[in-house]
Amino acid sequence: MTAKAVGIFNALFAALCASHSALAQQEPACSIVDRSNLTRCALSANLAVKAEDQELDAARGREQSVSPVLPSNPLLSLSAARRTSGAADANNWYVTLQQELEIAGQRGVRRDAAAAAVRAQSQRVVVARQDAVARAWVLFFDTLASVEERRLAARQMQMSARVSEVAQARADQGVGSPVDADLAAAATVGAVTAELEAERRLQQARAALASLLGMVEPTRSTIKIDGDLRPLEGISEALGRHSPESLSQRAEILAAQAEARAQERQADAYRRSRIPNPTLSVFAQNDGLNERVFGAGIAFPIPIPGNVGHTYVGEIAEADALARKARITGEQIRRSIQLEIAMATVDFEAAAKTVEAFSNEKIARAEETLEALAAEAEAGRLAIREAIVAQQALIDFLRAHVNARRDWCMASVALSRALGLPADGNLR
């Protein structure tokens, strides 16, 4: 190869490397999901959280709308006329400036109500974030468990195929029963269907997680899951710090309390609106004698009681009822959270004890025995039927271990959500 050819080759190789580096940099940050970035990826793609954020912006806009000092803009009136009376003509004009004033403190009450509504919506955003993170962890652990189940199903199929080959070879040689060969073949078919079912569940779990992370085509996503089946860290410590008093700081309860406060202040605003607002006015005019006239005035609306005039009776009753409802809802949420924590604690502790029953020694021995079954059957030291039964028992044992760890992980997510742990990315 000439020096010129070597130079061209090196240039092409450098270009390929640069292109690969650029593609790597353009690769989505959430194409590989693990414990460190799951929360961030889930929150950045969750539409429910984004919708609650927009509702918070709307609440802030409503708060801004009640901030002006004046209840209405000044009203400037201009009018002109020409007077004709025989030979005497005159031009008349009138200028009036009016401004409505609030004298019962309605503005301050409305601002309090709007601020309480903002606080309520801020807590709803917190709740939406916690729900989104909990859902992400559920799908994350479900996908990891499905991966292990898929591997176990593939292993079962391989072991069943080996035992079936041994059984069929014995039957062909006349040293084994054809019934054993048929049983082994049936066990192989069962293993194949189990593998297909495990593959289906894995694809569904991957698609659900990809959809949660905002993938356009979940079934075609190339998302990768990196992690293992172990519960969230710090759950036991958080449970130890929990107390009935800490419930008062839960976002759900704070949202209900803020909503009640907003409705109560809204009712107060309606009550104060029943006090007539005066309208001040100043005017200037040129009359028919070409004389300048200046003056000022004040006007009050006349409150008419009963069903004839607008007295805000219905609005006040509605706001008071909604405030009472929000208080009741807050107490209902408190009771629901207490029950949720109790149930989640029981599930978490039971799942932990179940996992402890599967000691590492038992799992290792089951793995070794499963590997040795086919060899024992080939050597004639183990009957085919016994190998089939033993293989199924060991597979069920290992699958139960996967399910136990899955349940433990799910219980940790449920308990973390019940405790209201913040969705700030510290969950691992």
Cα–Cα dist 268/145, whole Å: 55
Within-domain flag for 407: yes
Within-domain flag for 74: no
Task: Express each pLDDT in 359-404 by its tens digit.
Answer: 889 999 998 888 888 788 878 788 888 888 888 899 999 999 999 9
Cα–Cα dist 204/139, whole Å: 10
Within-domain flag for 361: yes
Within-domain flag for 83: no
On whether the CB atoms of residues 409 and 198 are closer than 8 A, the answer is no
Within-domain flag for 73: no
Residue 177 has what pLDDT?
Answer: 83
Strand partners, 198: none
Residue 399 has what pLDDT?
Answer: 93
Give residue 71's Cα distance to chain centre: 39
Other Cβ atoms closer than 10 A to 15: 10
Within-domain flag for 62: yes
Within-domain flag for 299: no
Query: DSSP character for 411?
Result: H
CA terminus-to-terminus distance, the chain: 55
Give residue 222's Cα distance to chain centre: 23
The structure tokens listed for 104 are: 């019962």
Cα–Cα dist 275/358, whole Å: 74
Low-confidence stretches of the chain (pLDDT < 70) are: 1-29, 85-88, 216, 219, 221, 288-289, 306, 425-428
Task: Express each pLDDT in 94-136 by its tens digit.
Answer: 999 999 999 888 899 999 999 999 999 999 999 999 999 999 9
Query: DSSP character for 380?
Result: T
Q: Map tokens 């414990």 to a residue.
A: 35
Cα–Cα dist 24/216, whole Å: 20
Residue 368 belongs to domain with CATH number: 1.20.1600.10
Our count of domains for the chain comes to: 1
Which whole-number Å values give the CA distances from 215 to 63, 106, 132, 220, 393, in the listed order?
36, 49, 16, 9, 39
Within-domain flag for 116: yes
Which whole-number Å values give the CA distances from 383 to 29, 34, 156, 184, in the listed order?
53, 45, 18, 11
Identify the domain containing residue 371 by its residue range: 39-68+106-274+335-419
Q: Map tokens 């973390």 to a residue.
A: 416
Cα–Cα dist 315/240, whole Å: 46
Residue 91 has what pLDDT?
Answer: 80
